[in-house]
Amino acid sequence: MSSTISPDPSAPSIVEVGQLVREFGSTRAVGGVTFSLAPGDCLALFGPNGAGKTTLLRVLAGLLKPTSGIARVSGIPLPGGPLARSRIGLISHHTMLYEALSPRENVAFSARLYGIRDARERVEDSLRRMSMMDRADAPIRSLSRGMQQRVSIARAMVHSPQLVLADEPYSGLDDSGARALTALLREVRSAGTAIIIVTHNLTEGLSLATHAAVMQRGKFVRYDSADRIDAGAYAATYREALAANG
Amino acid sequence: MGNILSTAWLIARKDLSIEFRTRSAFLSAVVFSLLGLVIFYYAWDPTAVTATDLAPGVLWIIFTFSGLLGLHRSFGVETADRAIDALLASPVSREAIFLGKAIANLVFVAAVQALAIPALALFYNLRLGDVAAPLIAIAILAAIGLVAVGTLFSAMAVNTRLAELLLPMLALPFFVPIVIAAAQATSKLLSGRPVVEIGAWLKLLLAFDIVFVAACTLAYPFTVED
């Protein structure tokens, strides 16, 4: 089932999305979205519940097939098999962890899935960045929700992805965890990783963003690049989208 | 192929580590097996049915249903906090995920068999020393087929609201040919027939294994692709 499509070497973007549509039966969750991100770009995606943000991220993560349109990661059409998936780090409000295993075991398992041979140093580094070394050997089930989210972030970053897809990553994090995540995302962005972050926190989202969009009923109702992002206008559009959603 | 097998082993080790720590499904399966043996023992009239006639049926009934307990857990651990999403978003092939799950399930079923077979010999006063090797061959060959089918249906059923009901409903009809072949071979073995007489049943079990493992490995990716 795995396809091994070579990346297009002339592709300048890490993410290219063109008229992307994703339908579930007669419901159009994503309805013709277009954007592209270069290395180091960060798209902050806002919108009410059910706007299609998570579906868009799941398509880009290779978990859902596009119904029509184009979606490429590093020039590889999605769903592009192991090569495309190896470049993506997925963070969600679900921790995606095994509760009987420890943080160290969860992150090490992920590192090995991504083919990292001598994973120990990478695992330790990932856990250290999220301040989880003290509880690295405790079972996940014994950790608070915020600590589990920190481990989930360490798991998603252990293979140094070129694209980070973060769906409400601040969910459950306290101030310290949120600061650590913001610092980590800034650091990986400055190293050339592209980021798409879905959040309801306009301040956090816009502080990281080089691009921003408000999504409503599967479409971008507002999309701007860094030099044109107006926080006040975004707040107004976001409120309108929430009101329209009922 | 080497990469698929090494990834499958990585996933199997992870599943076995989780089961070793929680022991939830294993203990349930062992208790179920021993309870089944006890109930059949007290319902048994030795003057009407000999132990060698009854034991094969009892053995394969408890293996089939205790195996379902482990098979249900197999993908259950992945859905607890959507760990399956991280697994599917990683660059491992879907076939490796299936084989990893199947290997872990095979170890689980084999561990239950390792406790249940001596218990059966104890309850029904069977002498298994002379037939131990062919009996183990039957148990392993049958377990491979049961696990292949059960792992596939566990993956299909896990995201449904009626997973606990759906898994046996889907899997049991496919278990029937394997269980018939295994029970027939066990029956001949326990009644003292020469080992060569079970050769045909062993070949049939091997054929089922090859078909079910290949078909289920190829079918699994379609259960996770939308």
User: What is the mean pLDDT of the segment spanning B7-29?
Assistant: 93
Query: What's the complex ipTM?
Result: 0.88
Report the C-alpha gap between A224 and A69 in whole angstroms: 21
Report the C-alpha gap between B71 and B29 in whole angstroms: 11
Phi, psi angle pair for A12, to nearest 5° = -85, -20
Q: What is the CATH number for A82?
A: 3.40.50.300
**Residues paired with residue A71 on neighbouring β-strands, in sequence order:** A17
Closest-CA residue of B relative to A139 is: B21
Contact B77 A98 (CB under 8 A): yes
State how many domains chain B has.
Answer: 1
Closest-CA residue of B relative to A80 is: B91
- pLDDT of the residue at A183: 87
A151 plus A171 within the same structural domain: no
User: B18 and chain A: CB distance < 8 Å anywhere?
Assistant: yes
In angstroms, the separation between the Cα of residue B41 and the nearest Cα of chain A is: 37
Closest-CA residue of B relative to A158 is: B90
Report the C-alpha gap between A133 and A135 in whole angstroms: 5
Q: Is the dihedral of CA B198, B204, B174, B3 positive or negative?
A: positive
In angstroms, the separation between the Cα of residue B103 and the nearest Cα of chain A is: 17
A120 plus A173 within the same structural domain: no
Phi, psi angle pair for B108, to nearest 5° = -60, -50
Looking at the domain assignment, is residue A44 inside a domain? yes
End-to-end CA distance of chain B: 25
In angstroms, the separation between the Cα of residue B37 and the nearest Cα of chain A is: 31
Looking at the domain assignment, is residue A7 inside a domain? no
Q: What is the pLDDT of residues B52-108, one digit of tens each?
A: 899 999 999 999 999 998 898 888 889 888 999 999 999 999 999 999 999 999 999
Q: Look up residue B42 and give its DSSP letter.
A: H
Report the C-alpha gap between A203 and B169 in whole angstroms: 51
Residues of B in contact with A101 (CB under 8 A): 14, 17-18, 21
Neighbours of A117 (CB within 10 A): 7
User: What is the mean pLDDT of the segment spanning B22-48?
Assistant: 91
Task: Supply the range of the domain harboring residue B197.
Answer: 2-224
- pLDDT of the residue at B42: 92
User: A145 and chain B: CB distance < 8 Å anywhere?
Assistant: no
A64 plus A182 within the same structural domain: yes
Q: What is the 3-state secondary structure (H, E, C) of B11-31?
A: HHHHHHHHHHHHCHHHHHHHH
Contact B225 A65 (CB under 8 A): yes
A172 plus A224 within the same structural domain: yes
Contact B22 A86 (CB under 8 A): no
- pLDDT of the residue at A6: 42
Contact B85 A90 (CB under 8 A): yes
Neighbours of B173 (CB within 10 A): 10
Contact A110 B226 (CB under 8 A): no
Looking at the domain assignment, is residue A6 inside a domain? no
Buried b or exposed e, range A51-62, using 16+ CB within 10 angstroms: bbbbbbbbbbbb
A172 plus A123 within the same structural domain: no
Q: What is the pLDDT of residues B40-61, one digit of tens each?
A: 999 988 888 898 899 999 999 9
- pLDDT of the residue at B41: 92
A145 plus A168 within the same structural domain: no
Report the C-alpha gap between B91 and A86 in whole angstroms: 5
Q: At what angle do helices B132-157 and B199-224 cross, to 10 degrees?
A: 20
Reported pTM:
0.89
Q: Are A43 and A22 in contact (CB under 8 A)?
A: no
Looking at the domain assignment, is residue A199 inside a domain? yes
A66 plus A110 within the same structural domain: no
Instruction: Beginning with the edge strand found earlier in the chain, give each strand of the sheet holding A27-37 in spatial order.
Output: A27-37, A15-24, A68-73, A76-77
- pLDDT of the residue at A44: 93
Contact A114 B91 (CB under 8 A): yes
Identify the residue with better confidence: A79 or B166.
B166
Checking if the pLDDT of B207 tops 70, the result is: yes
Report the C-alpha gap between B115 and B112 in whole angstroms: 5
Q: Are B112 and B66 in contact (CB under 8 A)?
A: yes
**Which residues 46-105 in chain B show a CB within 8 A of chain A?**
77, 80-83, 85-95
State how many domains chain A has.
Answer: 2
- pLDDT of the residue at A246: 63
Q: Is the dihedral of CA B128, B131, B132, B137 positive or negative?
A: negative
Q: What is the 3-state secondary structure (H, E, C) of chain A?
A: CCCCCCCCCCCCCCEEEEEEEEEECCEEEEEEEEEEECCCCEEEEECCCCCCHHHHHHHHCCCCCCCEEEEEECCEECCCHHHHHCCEEEECCCCCCCCCCCHHHHHHHHHHHCCCCCCHHHHHHHHHHCCCHHHCCCCHHHCCHHHHHHHHHHHHHCCCCCEEEEECCCCCCCHHHHHHHHHHHHHHHHCCCEEEEECCCHHHHHHHCCEEEEEECCEEEEEEEHHHCCHHHHHHHHHHHHHHCC
Q: Are B116 and B66 in contact (CB under 8 A)?
A: yes
User: A2 and chain B: CB distance < 8 Å anywhere?
Assistant: yes
Any residues with CB less than 8 A from the CB of B200 and at least 6 apart, and which?
none
User: A114 and chain B: CB distance < 8 Å anywhere?
Assistant: yes
Looking at the domain assignment, is residue A213 inside a domain? yes
For residue B118, the surrounding DSSP H or E stretch is helix B94-123
- pLDDT of the residue at B128: 87
Q: Look up residue B144 and give its DSSP letter.
A: H
Final residue of a domain: which of A139, A160, A181? Answer: A160
The structure tokens 């980021």 sit at: A195
User: A97 and chain B: CB distance < 8 Å anywhere?
Assistant: yes
User: A94 and chain B: CB distance < 8 Å anywhere?
Assistant: yes
Q: What is the pLDDT along chain A (246 residues), one digit of tens a residue?
A: 333 344 444 547 899 999 999 999 999 999 999 999 999 999 999 999 889 999 999 999 999 999 999 999 988 888 878 888 999 999 998 999 999 999 999 999 999 999 998 889 999 999 998 889 999 999 999 999 889 999 999 999 999 999 999 999 888 888 888 888 888 889 889 989 999 999 888 888 888 899 999 999 999 998 988 777 777 777 788 787 777 776
Closest-CA residue of B relative to A95 is: B81
Q: What is the dihedral of CA B32, B34, B39, B45, to 10 degrees?
A: 140
Task: Supply the range of the domain harboring residue A203.
Answer: 15-87+161-244
User: What is the mean pLDDT of the segment spanning B122-142?
Assistant: 92
Q: Is the dihedral of CA A41, A163, A76, A21 positive or negative?
A: negative
Closest-CA residue of B relative to A24 is: B226
Looking at the domain assignment, is residue A95 inside a domain? no
Identify the residue with better confidence: A202 or B6.
B6
User: What is the mean pLDDT of the segment spanning B100-127?
Assistant: 94
A146 plus A195 within the same structural domain: no
A238 plus A178 within the same structural domain: yes
- pLDDT of the residue at A11: 46
Q: Are B98 and B87 in contact (CB under 8 A)?
A: no
Among A155, A152, A144, CA closest to A169 = A152
Closest-CA residue of B relative to A25 is: B226
